[in-house]
Amino acid sequence: MSFAPLAAISPGRARRGPRIAALTLLLAVGSAGGTWAETPLPDSENGRYTFTPSADGVVRLDTRTGKVSTCTDKGSGWACYAIADERAAFDAETGRLQAEIDRLKKEADALRAANDSLKAQLASAAQPGAKTEEAMPKSDRLPQPQVTEKDGQRKLEIPLPSDQDVDRVMGFLERAWRKLIDMATRVQRDISGDKI
């Protein structure tokens, strides 16, 4: 923020500007009481800092960076501590949240791509002629029940499984039964062997 020189605003008042500033400073120092008369203000480093009296000491504004500090006289000299800059904290939090949003967008895009890939795989598997993992070969599909009319009455004919299907089921049951008997025999041997 820059201000136009006083001479540019009103040439007649240009000479009065420094006088008014000095008078204002003198009044501010005089109204602050005896403590201001005893302790000089901190060094302003050639106009870089502006000072405003406060209840605890002085509020210092860095005219180059815009940072605000509170300064107190500790007896051995002035000590200035930066006031928490809420704008910087706000900007930092905004930056953190923006990075989080970007990360989540990338993650969502990756999940969408994976989802689309899975949908494509499922669609290609569901097409006729595509290889699918089935329990039974395609030639062994169970026949569907049919409704027929005989002698003027509707009858539901449920087809029976073929001999091949019955043999396959019986073979499975026989193998399962043998494994169960073998397991029972082993358990019985283990128990009788422990008693002897």
Q: Is 149 inside any structural domain?
A: no
User: What are phi and psi for residue 16, nearest 5 degrees?
Assistant: -80, -20
Within this chain, do residues 78 and 45 fall inside the same structural domain, yes or no? yes
Residue 8's domain comprises 1-31
- Residue 21 forms part of a structural domain: yes
Give the tokens for residue 22: 């000095």
pLDDT of residue 73: 85
Same-domain pairing of 60 and 71: yes
Residue 143: what pLDDT?
A: 64
Per residue in 55-95, pLDDT tens?
Answer: 888 888 888 888 888 888 888 888 888 887 777 788 889 99
Distance, CA of 185 to CA of 50 (rounded, Å): 99
In a domain, 121, yes or no: yes
Q: Is the predicted pLDDT of residue 142 greater than 50, yes or no?
A: yes
Query: pLDDT-derived band of residue 24, with 50, 70 and 90 as boundaries?
Result: low
Specify the higher pLDDT residue, 148 or 123.
Answer: 123
d(CA 163, CA 169) in angstroms, rounded, equals 10
Residues 78 and 91 occupy one common structural domain: no
User: Of 16-20, 59-63, 140-144, 183-187, which gets the smallest average pLDDT?
Assistant: 16-20
Instruction: Let me know if residue 142 belongs to a domain.
Output: no
Say which residues have a Cβ less than 8 Å from residue 42's Cβ, sequence separation at least 6: 49, 51, 58, 60, 71, 78, 80
Sequence-separated (6 or more) residues with CB below 8 Å from residue 32: 53
| Region of poorest pLDDT, from 62-66, 125-129, 135-139 | 135-139
182: in domain: no
Residue 91 forms part of a structural domain: yes
**pLDDT exceeds cutoff 70 at 141:** no
Count of domains forming the chain = 3
Residue 36 pLDDT grade (very low, low, confident, very high; cuts 50, 70, 90):
very low
Confidence (pLDDT) at 183: 95
Is residue 192 situated within a structural domain?
no
Q: Is residue 154 part of a domain?
A: no
